Amino acid sequence: MKDEVSDLRIRKTLVLLIIAAAAASALVTALLINIFERKSEGRNAYIRLVEVTEDDTDPEKWGANWPRQYESYKKTANSTRTRFGGHGGSEAMPEQKIERDPWLKRMFLGYAFSIDYRDRRGHAYMLSDQENTERLSKPQSGSCLHCHASIMPVYRKLGNGDAIAGFEKSYQYSYRELNAELHETGHAHPVSCVDCHDPDDMKLRVTRPGFIQGIQALAASSASLPHLPSIEEWRKGSRAQPYDPNTAATHNEMRSFACGQCHVEYYCASNMKLTFPWGNGLRVEDTEKFWNDTTFADGTRFFDYKHKETGAEVLKAQHPEFELWSQGIHARSGVSCADCHMPYMRDGASKVSDHWVRSPLLNISRACQTCHHFSENELAQRVDQIQQRNFDLLQRAGAALMDQFDAINRARKEGATDNDLQMALELQRKAQWRLDFIAAENSMGFHAPQEAARILGEATDYARQGQVRALDWRSNQ
């Protein structure tokens, strides 16, 4: 009897133990699955079927390892259209901006942009659109390829292995020479995986020398950069080494830096290396000061072209998306370019970044509603209202600049000399720089609405001041 009782006890204990063990192991398994899921989400586990190296500029090869990213990347060949974004015109050729806004064409008289200046479109076209633009009817520099091709192997070749050295030589080559080199060496691809990812570990990185030198100058400046915490951190150190985005930047900053390699204001010609004008900061007056303080080899003041009608030595602004974004509430809140333009898509256990880089308005649910809990329609309307206001101000500033041109032309007919018009021409330079900064920026004001309005307000004011000076040229001395 005693034995039977203890037998029962032992059996009961055993059953309990088994149940406990099963429960514990289920718990551990669940935890492991969870950890694995999270880890693979973070690392985005993948099977490397083919080796890729620094010289693999063909995205198709990378596609074997990362098919989901490659599939979406290929979609940049699809046409996109929104009210102000993507492109109008036929599939063969995007619409001419200079025909849509005649004041743009007049503003560019004396410069290649008055010949051909079209809507942008997807990344897949960047090399062919550059090769086909009639702006190439004027001699252009090899620097143009910095942002339109997977150019790094060519830089390394020019620099005997040193990409920066090669880059520093590249402006002396003509566009045609360097473009031929690109094709001959088999690297004639638009921006490719290797331009934003380290082939060894897929880490996000920047490769473009123009950006690296530009951001180093920016870091070394005293410009306030609350949206770039790693630079503020670097400034507290010894500064013995220049700021290096690839080692110092946060992952979140890299999600904007990757785009800042190209979507920026620059100077590109055969008399100076490709330059991002960030040595005083990123605001419109900081970059203006940078250009005003720059001189050509012969000591004369920097300008992009002499305006054909008025004779003013003016500046041309180029797509300052990175700069304008930097002034907005999204940058200040840590929202990166990739958050809106390459939002995550769920794919089973992992998150995949949508490599179909395009207007977020075509993708509001993933691009905006992750943070903003309003309906798609409401969000679209908010953007449209910002863009409409910006568009109206832009047109007004354009009209003011045209009135200034008319006043200068009239003064010239009345016998005014360059000397008499000095102030008016200087004001044209200031007005036009601001107007073009917002006209060339591709978000129609969205990236920083208040800043865009401030800049357009100043553009209109300078144009009107210049108009008054020209009308009253006789009393200008």
Please list every residue from 137 through 176 that binds ligand HEC, using CB under 6 A: 140, 143-144, 146-148
Residue number with the smallest Cβ distance to ligand HEC: 85
Contact region with ligand HEC (CB under 6 A), list: 166-174, 188-196, 294-302, 399-407? 188-196
Span 414-443, contacts to ligand HEC by CB under 6 A:
440, 442-443
Span 325-384, contacts to ligand HEC by CB under 6 A:
325, 329-330, 333, 335, 337-342, 352-353, 355, 357-361, 367-368, 370-372, 379, 382-383
Which of 381, 256, 221 lies closest to 328 in space, CA to CA? 256
If one asks whether residue 98 binds ligand HEC (CB under 6 A), the answer comes out as no
Count of residues that bind ligand HEC according to CB under 6 A: 90
Q: Give the amino acid at 60.
A: E
Span 213-252, contacts to ligand HEC by CB under 6 A:
none
If one asks whether residue 205 binds ligand HEC (CB under 6 A), the answer comes out as no
If one asks whether residue 321 binds ligand HEC (CB under 6 A), the answer comes out as yes
Contact region with ligand HEC (CB under 6 A), list: 28-36, 64-72, 177-185, 460-468? 64-72
Cα–Cα distances (Å) from 294 to 218, 221, 265, 288, 429, in that order, read 16, 16, 15, 10, 15
Angle at 189 between CA 188 and CA 195, to 5 degrees: 120
Buried b (16+ CB within 10 A) or exposed e, 74-84: bbbeeebebeb
- What DSSP line would sit under 147-197, residue for residue? GTS--HHHHHHHTTT-HHHHHHHHTTSBHHHHHHHHHHTT---SS-HHHHB
Instruction: Between 143 and 467, name the residue whose CB sits nearer to ligand HEC.
Output: 143
Residue indicated by tokens 């309990």 = 16
Instruction: Between 140 and 428, name the residue whose CB sits nearer to ligand HEC.
Output: 140
Q: Which member of 56, 85, 424, 428 binds ligand HEC (CB under 6 A)?
A: 85
Cα(434)–Cα(397) distance, rounded to whole angstroms?
9
Cα(320)–Cα(337) distance, rounded to whole angstroms?
13
> Which residues, including other chains, have CB under 8 Å from residue 225's CB and lie 6 or more apart?
218, 231, 232, 282, 326
DSSP one-letter code for 265? -
- Specify which residues 352 forms β-bridges with: 345
Q: Which member of 57, 61, 84, 317 binds ligand HEC (CB under 6 A)?
A: 84
Cα(475)–Cα(95) distance, rounded to whole angstroms?
44
Show the site string, 445-474: x = touches ligand HEC by CB under 6 A, - = not: -xx-x-------------------------
- Specify which residues 96 forms β-bridges with: 118
Contact region with ligand HEC (CB under 6 A), list: 23-31, 234-242, 255-263, 281-289? 255-263
Span 19-38, contacts to ligand HEC by CB under 6 A:
none
Q: Which member of 56, 57, 61, 86 binds ligand HEC (CB under 6 A)?
A: 86
Cα(458)–Cα(330) distance, rounded to whole angstroms?
23
Contact 307, 314 (CB under 8 A): yes
Span 107-136, contacts to ligand HEC by CB under 6 A:
117-118, 120-123, 125-126, 129-130, 133, 135
To ligand HEC, the closest distance from the beta carbon of 70 in angstroms equals 4
Alpha-helical (H) ranges within 171-325 are 175-184, 193-196, 209-220, 229-235, 245-248, 251-260, 284-293, 321-325
Span 258-287, contacts to ligand HEC by CB under 6 A:
258-264, 266, 268, 274
To ligand HEC, the closest distance from the beta carbon of 312 in angstroms equals 21
Span 391-410, contacts to ligand HEC by CB under 6 A:
none
Q: Within 13 Å of residue 299, how many CA atoms lie on the same side as its CB?
A: 0
Instruction: Between 25 and 370, name the residue whose CB sits nearer to ligand HEC.
Output: 370
Q: Which member of 187, 307, 319, 429 binds ligand HEC (CB under 6 A)?
A: 319
Which of 305, 266, 292, 271 lies closest to 440 in space, CA to CA? 266
Instruction: Between 307 and 355, name the residue whose CB sits nearer to ligand HEC.
Output: 355
Instruction: Between 82 and 172, name the residue whose CB sits nearer to ligand HEC.
Output: 82
Q: Which member of 57, 61, 66, 458 binds ligand HEC (CB under 6 A)?
A: 66
Q: Which member of 188, 191, 228, 431 binds ligand HEC (CB under 6 A)?
A: 191
Instruction: Between 86 and 279, name the residue whose CB sits nearer to ligand HEC.
Output: 86
DSSP one-letter code for 35? H
